[in-house]
Amino acid sequence: MTGLFDPLQLGAIALPNRIVMAPMTRSRSDAQSVPTPIMVEYYRQRATAGLIVSEGIAPSRHGIGYCRTPGIYNAEQVAAWRQVTDAVHAAGGRIVAQLMHCGRIGARFNKAPDAETVAPSAVRAAGRIFTDVAGMQEQEVPRALATGEIAGVVEEYAAATRHSLEAGFDGVELHCTSGYLPMQFMAVNSNQRTDAYGGTAENRTRFVVETLEAMTGAAAGRVAMRICPGNPFNDVHDPDPTETYRALLSRIAHLGLAYLHVIRSPHRDLDAFALAREHFSGPLILNDGFDGASAARALADGKGAAVSFARHYIGNPDLARRLREGLPLAGFDSKTIYTPGEAGYIDYPFAAS
């Protein structure tokens, strides 16, 4: 029977256990989207995870949406990420970069002056977004990408994949949920295009397929994707997620992704893990709301190959050991999740030995 502490091969990446640290935006980069030294320490502390998935990282300056979030599109950022990956590797860990292009989610105060807000269609997302300089702001009205520009955005992901390997990451995960650019293409309200990227499920998933093709071309065996079928976060709507994700997964089957990271669907009648299992033959990482016992059960039941934990990793840098030894799990301070500085970030203690 498979357990949390059995080793696992994900494409070219070998894990000593099946406990994955899920991606978490923590807003500790500098104002130029360069990772800071406290991020080196944060990830180093969590290196006993079987695999760390980094916070969302923008593939281009246009992909930044939130304040103090990192990028991987210039040499300074690559050098700073190299400090992170070296520290994780020296501590015996593995880390993949999550590539996150926010598309229409963002405010100009969070972006470089020469960055644009682009999306499938010029449709503003409902809701407001935090900025350091001007407090809460309406989401930007995006500029719709012209058909001829889309290949350039796909190339940004390919370049970011190459930069991630150069920075020492073990692989890359495409952030394909939470209403960011890839999901804006897949949803029907944010994608009102009439070209080959809009309309049918096949057309709405074309951007993601082309992006994954470009990424796997740059890093075979080291590319993965994260999905959450039916997730309405950031004002995206899909009336038939089963059909959309069936179309997507069947069209990427030939790419041999290292893994598929699946978040439970918010729709009660949609079993995202079963849907993924049906249409994806590689390893699944399961996520959302797991603790040690439910994670062990999910693996024993054959629902997936590994389980990822996000919130438990905020206050438990040594989560893997705590789960192995049945030690109590610490909580965390919600006030310091996104605040700059060390507090609530690198000051959560390890369990006493």
17 CB contacts (<8 Å, ≥6 apart)?
4, 5, 6, 7, 8, 49, 50, 320
Nearer to ligand FMN, 7 or 289 (CB): 289
Query: Cβ(56)–Cβ(175) under 8 Å?
Result: yes
Min CB(270)–ligand FMN separation in Å: 16
Q: DSSP string spanning 223-286?
A: EEEEE-TT--TTT---S-HHHHHHHHHHHHGGG--S-EEEEPPSSTT--HHHHHHHH--S-EEE
Instruction: Choose the binding region for ligand FMN from 40-48, 118-126, 200-208, 285-293 (rule: CB under 6 A).
Output: 285-293
Min CB(226)–ligand FMN separation in Å: 5
Of 48, 60, 83, 98, the one binding ligand FMN by CB under 6 A: 98
Query: Cβ(313)–Cβ(46) under 8 Å?
Result: yes
348 noted as active-site residue: no
Nearer to ligand FMN, 48 or 98 (CB): 98
Nearer to ligand FMN, 186 or 193 (CB): 186
Of 39, 55, 118, 211, the one binding ligand FMN by CB under 6 A: 55
**Secondary structure class of 150 (helix, strand, coil):** helix
Helical ranges in 46-177 per DSSP H: 75-90, 150-166
Instruction: Choose the binding region for ligand FMN from 17-25, 71-79, 163-171, 199-207 (rule: CB under 6 A).
Output: 17-25
Question: Cα–Cα distance between 120 and 184 in angstroms, integer?
Answer: 7
Residue 248 contacts ligand FMN per CB under 6 A: no
Identify residues 146-185 at the interface with ligand FMN (CB under 6 A). Answer: 175
Of 8, 22, 40, 215, the one binding ligand FMN by CB under 6 A: 22
Of 210, 288, 321, 336, the one binding ligand FMN by CB under 6 A: 288
Nearer to ligand FMN, 95 or 121 (CB): 95
Residue 265 contacts ligand FMN per CB under 6 A: no
Question: Cα–Cα distance between 75 and 70 in angstroms, integer?
Answer: 13
Question: Cα–Cα distance between 130 and 312 in angstroms, integer?
Answer: 24
Of 82, 143, 162, 311, the one binding ligand FMN by CB under 6 A: 311
Side-chain-side CA neighbours of residue 205 (13 Å): 21
Largest CA distance in the chain: 61
- Contact pattern for ligand FMN over residues 100 through 139, marking x by CB under 6 A: x---------------------------------------
Kindly state the tokens that stand for 150. 């889309």
Give 335: exposed, middle or buried? Use CB within 10 Å, 0-12, 13-18, 19+: exposed
Binding-site ranges for ligand FMN (CB under 6 A):
22-25, 55-56, 98, 100, 175, 226, 263, 287-289, 309-311, 337
> Residues with catalytic annotation?
180
